[in-house]
Amino acid sequence: MRRSSGMMMALAGLVLVLFSQGAYPARAPAMDGDAIDGDAMIAEYFEIETARLRDACLADITSLEDWQAKRSEYRRQLLEMLGLDPLPERTDLQAVVTGQTEHDEFIVERLHFQSSPGLYVTGNLYLPRSRSEPLPAILYVCGHGASRSDGISFGNKVTYQHHGAWFARHGFVCLTIDTLQMGEIEGIHHGTYRYDMWWWLNRGYTPAGVEAWNCVRALDYLQSRAEVDPERLGVTGRSGGGAYSWWIAAIDERITAAVPVAGITDLENHVVDGCVEGHCDCMYMVNTYQWDYPLVAALVAPRPLLLSNTDRDRIFPLDGVVRTYEQVRRIYELYDQRNNLGLQITAGPHRDTQELHIHAFRWMNQHLRDDDSMIEKAAFRFFEPQQLKVFETLPEDQRNTEIHETFVPTAPEPPVPQDDTQWSAMRDGWLKALREKSFRAWPAEPSELAVNVVGSAVQDGVRFSAYDFDSQQAIRLRMYMVQPDGPNPPQRIVVHVLDDPALTEMLAAYRVAFAEPLSGETLPEADAEAYRVKVEALVAAQQAHVYVVPRGIGRTAWDPSPRKQVQHQRRFYLLGQTLDGMRVWDVRRAIQAVRAPDGLPDVPIHLHGAGTMAGIALYASLFEPRIAQLDLDDLPADHRHGPYLLNVNRYLDMPQAVAMAAQRTRIVLQDADPQDWGYAKNVIDALGWEPEALQFRQ
C-alpha cells in the first residue's frame, strides 16, 4: 500500500497537533518509499495517457451518420494542428521549368514553384513520351534520403527518382517534390529533435504543416498542366513521404487514391515503444485535440487507401500498423467500401524494397487507370543527381531556411482596453484559448490529492515536514513545508516552485538540520550559512515556506541524458501536452493541497518562482483563486524563452498573462526591465487598478 485514503492529515496546523498528541510517530510510514524511479514513473504516465487517447479514438462513431456529422470538424481540427487554419493564401505559383532531362520512354522537367511567396518547392515532373489524352497523375513525396556532394544538395527527389520513372513508363504523369529539410534549399525539420527550438510549440508550428501545404500547391500545379487529368490524382511516398501522403490525402479531397508507405503507425508505437526517438518533427502534427493517428487515416475514407509496410520496420512497427488498419477499417465498413482499404505487409526492415514498389504501383493502376494487369517492369534510377538538379544558383528571396519563423502567425500585441467591458472580453477569450488550446490535456476530473505526511522534524524553533500528493494518475510528487514551531498558524505561506538549481539550494540549506525528512533526495553539500539566514527570516516573519518540486525534477527526475530529456519532452507534445504545461498543473495541485480542508485554507499564499518556473507560477495563478502575491524573479519577457505551452503565442504572450494576473493578484517582478512589461502597466493604468498591482524590484 503506497498511500492513505482521503485527505490524510495533510498540512501545517493539523500536523502540529497530531505530532504533539502522539497520533503519528515522528516519522510516519513511508508509504511511497523513500526512493522513487523517475524513469518508471514517467513510463507509466506515458502508457496511461497514450491508452486514454487510444481508447477515445473514433470511440463515439457507431454509424455512418455519426461519422459524417463529425468529419468536417475533424478535418478542420487537423488543418489547425498542421498550422493551416486558416489556409494560407493561394498566391501565384510562379512556376518555372529550368530545363529537362530525357530518356527514351519519358521526359523529366526540372522545375520549381512557390507554394507561398519565397517558399520554393523544387521538383521533377516525369512525362511519358507517348500520350494522346490527359493522364492520371501521381504526387510523389520523398522520405529522408539526402543527396549531397561537395556541400551542394541535389534534393531527395534524386534519391527517389526511380518511382517517378516507373510511373512515367506506365502511363502516368508523376511530380516528385523535394521536402523542406532535404531539398535543394535546405530548411529545418529538426527544431525540437536537434536544435532546442521548443518555441515551435508556442507557435503551434510543425514542419509537417509546411510539407502538407507544399503538397496542396503541388496538386494545384498538376491540375494546371494540360497533360494531367485533374480528376485522377494519386499520392504516395515512403517513410517521411508516407507521412506526408496521409496528411495531404486527409486534408485534400482532390486525392483519388493514396498509398502511404512505411509512414503510418499509432501513438502507442511512437510514445510507449519509443519510435518518436527515430523521427524528426515533420512526422507529427501539433496534437492540440489529442488524436490517435488512426483518425488521420480515417479522413481519407471512402477513397482508396493502401497502408503499406514491412514486417521488421523499427520506426513503424508492424503491430501499430495493424492496429491503425483495424481502426480505419471500421470507417470504410460504414461506407460499405471495404475494398477501398488495403493492408500490405512484406518482409524486410525499413527499406525501399521492390515488394513495396509493386503493391503501390498496382494500387494506382487499379484505382486511377482501372488496370489490373501484372507488373512487368522494375523501378530503376536512370540519372545522375546532377542531371535532375533544378537551380544553378539558389534564389536570394527564398524563405525556406527561416519559414518556421513566419509559417504560423503569432498574435499581434493587442490594443490596451479602454473599459472593463472590453477588458473582460479580451481576458475571457485568452483564458478560453488557454484552456482549450494550451492546457486541454489537463485532467477533466482531477484525482484525489491523497496527501500523506512522510516525515517531520523540529529544530532551532522550526518544523520541517515532507508531504507526498498525487498530481494526477502515475504522478506522485513531494513538497516540503518549513514553518515556526508552535500552536499559531503562519501569517502567510510562500509557495516556491523549484527548478533543479533552486532545489539544490534548498536542500543544501535544510539538510543542515533536517536530513531525515529529506530522505530520498540526492543531497548536496550542506550550506550552514544559508540555513541560518533562512531560519532567522522565517521565524521573524512568522510565515511558512512550501517548496514544490514539479515532475521530472529531484526525486522524480528521469534519465538525465540530453537525448532522453529531449525525447521525453517530445513525447509530451505528441500527447497534446508540454512538459511545462503539465508542470503548471503540478503547481496548481500543490496549491490545492495547501488549501485542502485539513490544510491551511485561509492563510494568504504568495507564489514564487525564478526563470521558467516564474512563468509556470504565473500561469498557475490564473487558474487558482486567492493568490495574494506573485514574486517572480527573471520572468521571461516572451514565450520564446519559456515556458513552452502549446499554441500559446497564437493568442497571447507573457505581458498579456501578467496583465490578467495583475487584475486579482499583486505582482512583484524581480530583476525585470519595466519596458518589457509596458503592456501590462498600460492596462493597469487604463482600467484604474491599484498602482501597486505591478511592482519592479532590483
Concatenating the DSSP letter of every residue in 43-83 gives HHHHHHHHHHHHHHTTTT--SHHHHHHHHHHHHHHHHHHTT
Q: Is 39 among the domain residues?
A: yes
Work out the mean pLDDT of the chain and round it to a whole number: 93
Containing domain of residue 544, as a range? 12-52+441-645
Q: Is 291 among the domain residues?
A: yes
CA-based angle 529:492:579, to the nearest 5? 80
Residues 19 and 89 in one domain: no
Could you count the other beta carbons within 10 Å of the beta carbon of residue 501?
11
Q: What are the percentages of helix, strand and coil residues in the chain, rounded to 5?
A: 40, 20, 40
Q: Is 694 among the domain residues?
A: no
Residues 72 and 158 in one domain: yes
Q: What pLDDT does residue 599 have?
A: 66
Strands 173-177 and 119-128: antiparallel
Helix/strand/coil for 480: strand
Q: Is 1 among the domain residues?
A: no
Contact at 8 Å (CB) between 189 and 207?
yes
Residues 330 and 475 in one domain: no
Q: Is 672 among the domain residues?
A: no
Q: What pLDDT does residue 596 have?
A: 81
In 3D, which of 283, 190, 199, 278 has the Cα closest to residue 241?
A: 283
Residues 394 and 513 in one domain: no
- Residue 34: pLDDT band (50, 70, 90) is low
C-alpha cell at 517: 525528512
> Would you say residue 35 has pLDDT above 80?
no
DSSP annotation of 159: T
Q: Is 470 among the domain residues?
A: yes
> Would you say residue 439 has pLDDT above 90?
yes
**pLDDT tens-digit map of 477-533:** 999 999 999 888 899 999 999 999 999 999 999 999 999 899 888 999 999 999 999
> Would you say residue 17 has pLDDT above 80?
no
Residues 461 and 557 in one domain: yes
Residues 399 and 474 in one domain: no
- Residue 370: pLDDT band (50, 70, 90) is very high
Phi–psi pair at 621, nearest 5 degrees = -65, -25
CATH code of 277's domain: 3.40.50.1820
Q: Is 191 among the domain residues?
A: yes
Final residue of a domain: which of 628, 645, 662? 645
Final residue of a domain: which of 645, 661, 693? 645
Long-range contacts of 63-71 (CB under 8 A, 24+ apart): 63/334, 64/334, 64/335, 67/298, 67/331, 67/334, 71/299
Contact at 8 Å (CB) between 271 and 59?
no
Contact at 8 Å (CB) between 192 and 293?
no
Q: How many domains does the chain have?
A: 2
Residues 192 and 335 in one domain: yes
Final residue of a domain: which of 349, 378, 405? 405
**pLDDT tens-digit map of 87-137:** 999 999 999 999 999 999 999 999 999 999 999 999 999 999 988 899 999
Residues 211 and 256 in one domain: yes
**pLDDT tens-digit map of 462-476:** 999 999 999 999 999
Residues 584 and 526 in one domain: yes
Q: Is 249 among the domain residues?
A: yes
Segment among 105-109, 404-408, 598-602, 627-631 with least mean pLDDT: 598-602
> Averaged over 622-639, what is the pLDDT?
97
CA-based angle 533:534:535, to the nearest 5? 95
Contact at 8 Å (CB) between 612 and 636?
yes
Phi-psi label, residue 203: left if phi above 0, alpha if psi -120 to 50, beta otherwise? alpha
Residues 464 and 548 in one domain: yes
C-alpha cell at 325: 488498419
Residues 47 and 89 in one domain: no
Residues 293 and 338 in one domain: yes
Q: What pLDDT does residue 16 have?
A: 35
Helix/strand/coil for 608: strand
> Would you say residue 610 has pLDDT above 80?
yes
C-alpha cell at 286: 501539433
Q: What pLDDT does residue 376 have?
A: 84
